[in-house]
Each structure stands twice: as structure tokens, then as C-alpha cells.
Amino acid sequence: MAYNLLKGKKGIIFGALDENSIAWKTAERVHEEGGTFVLTNAPIAMRMGQIKELAEKTNSQIIPADATSEEDLQNLVTQSMEILGGKLDFVLHSIGMSVNVRKGRAYTDEKYDFTTKGWDVSALSFHKVMQSLYKADAMNEWGSIVALTYMAAQRTFPDYNDMADNKAYLESVARSFGYFFGKEKRVRVNTISQSPTPTTAGQGVKGFDGFISYAEKMSPLGNASAADCANYTVSLFSDLTKKVTMQNLYHDGGFSNTGVSQEVIDEFSE
């Protein structure tokens, strides 16, 4: 059901790869709610995914950009405002990658060149995106910037590896840049701490299927899906949340506040 929550609003959506990705679902919902946007992803990711299909479905243009490149991001911001006809109202940062995870290296045996690359892509890129927007004065007042995170930033999940450190840094960037964007531009910056979600990136984590099952048993409302997260993101892009900023917002069916559930007790009591 659509409510025209984003009618007339314009933005950029980073990270749509395929129909399993949260960014993909968010783009579909933003389109349904009347928003218009530019889609962007790294050139290599675009070759792997089906972003052209999404662009056709949502009547959007695609601008390839490496989110670790300041030059690419400056070009992205400038072109997006030209295509969309003015300043932006929303931006979604849905980017994450660990080379250590991909290469099967344990947290206690990191290759630091891999670590640095993953940090740049997954965390520092959020600062680079916002700095590009800030310097270009590209955001309308009461605009909204959202990044996706995971509660491994607060609690230890051994196989999440160095991505946990990346997410902690990402959340800190949201708070710090959120202060300046709020004071000087009246722009909101928040992170959504999402349930484990079977995206292409998520499925690369060792033992991911087992953990999804565990989280489902632990969460009073069950895991939040990619589609659920898209709905939540739309609410943060809308004018209904104009005074919400610098927050890490848990969207996990109650997992983050549950010590143990009866289902988990029953599982280990059998």
C-alpha cells in the first residue's frame, strides 16, 4: 500500500545489486511512494548484479561510482542534481564488503591490506559520501541520510569478522557527521541496525543460515525482512521523522533487547 510519503522527493540509492538486496527493495518502495532517484553502485558490482532491470522498473538513471573515490562521488552528486532537477532529499548508503571474509581469513589472522580495503568500502565511504554532499550543499533542509548496519558493532558475533569493526566505525560517523549536518543544514543522519538478512553480502558470512534461524527464534516478532527494512527506511526518508537524527535504530524484531527466548531454551533442553 502506498501513501505518497515521498511525493516530490529526490535522492540517491547506493548498493542495489539484485532483488535480494535491501537497497533494491528500498528503491522499489521509494518509487511506489512517489520518490525519484538515481541508482549507483561500483562498476564491478554492476557487472555482477541486475541493476539495469531495477532502473527500468523505477524509471531511474544509473551513475556508476566507486564510493571510495572522492572524484567519483563528487561527479555522482553533481550529475544526480542535474538529472533530478535540484537538491536531494534522501540518500541510502547500503554498502559493505570484507575481503578477509571473502578470502576465508579469521579475525585473528587478518591480512591488513584486506582490512583497510574493507574499512574503506564499508565504513569510511559513508563519511566520503556525506562530505561530498555537505561540500556541494546538495541536501535540502530536513533531508534524510540513512546507512545500514548490524548489531555486531555492539556485540560479538565471531564469524562476522572485521565487518563488526567496520559497522562500529560507520555508526560513529553517523553520529559525528549527523551533528554537523543537523546544526548547519537541518539534515538528519541515522543508521538502521537490521536483522540478519539473506542478501548476497550477508550470505558470504560463515554459518549465516544457522544464525538466521537462531535470530528468528530469539526475536519476539521474528526477523525483519529486506522488504520490512525498506518500509522502515521510507519512514525515515519521509517528513514523519523530521526530528530523528544521530540514532542507531534497531530494526530486528526485538532481538537486540531479548536475553533469551523460550524457543531457544526449548532447543537446548531437548
pLDDT in tens, 38-49: 999 998 877 777
Break the chain into its structural domains and give their ranges.
Answer: 10-268
195 annotated as ligand-binding: no
167 annotated as ligand-binding: yes
pLDDT in tens, 149-207: 999 999 999 899 999 999 999 999 999 999 999 999 999 999 999 999 987 665 556 66
Give the predicted TM-score (pTM) of the model.
Answer: 0.96
Catalytic residue (one of 134, 160, 232, 250): 160
Active site residue 250: no
21 annotated as ligand-binding: yes
pLDDT in tens, 80-137: 999 999 999 999 999 999 999 999 999 999 999 999 999 999 999 999 999 999 999 9
95 annotated as ligand-binding: yes
CATH superfamily ID and name for 10-268: NAD(P)-binding Rossmann-like Domain (3.40.50.720)
Active site residue 169: no
125 annotated as ligand-binding: no
Catalytic residue (one of 134, 150, 232, 250): 150
C-alpha cell at 268: 537446548
